[in-house]
Amino acid sequence: MSAVFWRDLRLAIRAGGGFGLALVFFLIVVTLVPFAVGPETSLLRAIAPGILWIGALLACLLSLDRLFALDRDDGSLDVLATAPIPLEAVVAAKAAAHWVTTGLPLTLAAPALGVLLNLAPNAFGWLTLSLFLGTPALSIIGAFGAALTVGLRRGGLLLSLLVLPLYVPTLIFGAEAARVGAEGLAAGTALALLAAISLAAAAILPFAAAAALRVNLR
């Protein structure tokens, strides 16, 4: 299982692996927003948590269609499916590697980009924590979507449409945590729900994704 994880990390870092793509996209979204909505700092402060969360969510989507499609195209998925390690574990390892190469860098970059959006000072910690707890759910739900659409050419479109509604609860509680935190209140409830979504997704979706992969391999 760790072999899959480390291989995916190595592939992401090597040339053309797509590491950094999510980060650059996130940067672009966040830097363009002040140009579009105007330099009014109070307005920016109000929308900053939401923009940061939407930016992170869309950046996460960007690399999802490659998650299983590349392995299918080069035949690796067939061999992984016949390996002694269960396909569920392969899915979990690949989702974890996806999170480390997208969700984690986005989480770490968010405070710096928060400055660009005039994020409230006491929201920085909450925002980072909410992304840290919420982005694993984005990777795992996305892995499920990628498994469903792995057999399709240019499946990215369908993948986005399938996954976006499933992302809504994560987005609501994630942005809520950062927003409540910005007002100086404790955002524990939203964070607990966010963590619950991530844990539930990690517990259930690898099985669903592995089942979808098996059907798509036929």
- Based on the shown chain and the rule CB under 8 A, indicate whether residue 10 belongs to the binding site for other proteins: yes
89 touching other proteins, by CB under 8 A: no
Query: Under the criterion CB under 8 A, does residue 80 sit at the interface with other proteins?
Result: yes
Contact residue for other proteins among 35, 75, 153, 165 (CB under 8 A):
75
d(CA 69, CA 124) in angstroms, rounded, equals 36
18 counts as binding other proteins under rule CB under 8 A:
no
Residue 93 touches other proteins, criterion: CB under 8 A: no
Beta carbons of 114 and 166 less than 8 angstroms apart? no
Angle between helices 41-62 and 124-148 (to 10 degrees): 30
Q: Nearest distance from residue 75's CB to other proteins, in Å?
A: 3
Residue 173 contacts residue 194 (beta carbons within 8 Å)? yes
Residue 183 found at the interface with other proteins (CB under 8 A): no
Tokens (6 digits) for 217: 């391999």
Is the CB of 8 or the CB of 65 nearer to other proteins? 8
**Integer CA distances (angstroms), 205 to 26, 37, 60, 105, 161, in order:** 26, 38, 17, 23, 18
Nearest to 13 by CA among 86, 105, 80, 76: 105
* Positive/negative CA dihedral, 199, 165, 127, 181: negative
Nearer to other proteins, 59 or 213 (CB): 213
Among the listed ranges 14-22, 54-62, 116-124, 194-202, the one in contact with other proteins (CB under 8 A) is 14-22
| Spatial contact of 60 and 135, defined as CB atoms under 8 Å apart | yes
Which residue number, 63 or 170, has a Cβ lying nearer to other proteins? Answer: 63
Regarding 84 and contact with other proteins (CB under 8 A), the answer is: yes
153 binds other proteins (CB under 8 A): no
Q: Any contact of residue 165 with other proteins (CB under 8 A)?
A: no
Terminal alpha carbon distance of the chain: 23
Q: Contacting other proteins (CB under 8 A), which of 47, 116, 162, 217?
A: 217
Q: Point out which residues bind other proteins (CB under 8 A).
A: 3-4, 7, 10-11, 14-17, 73-76, 78-85, 217-218
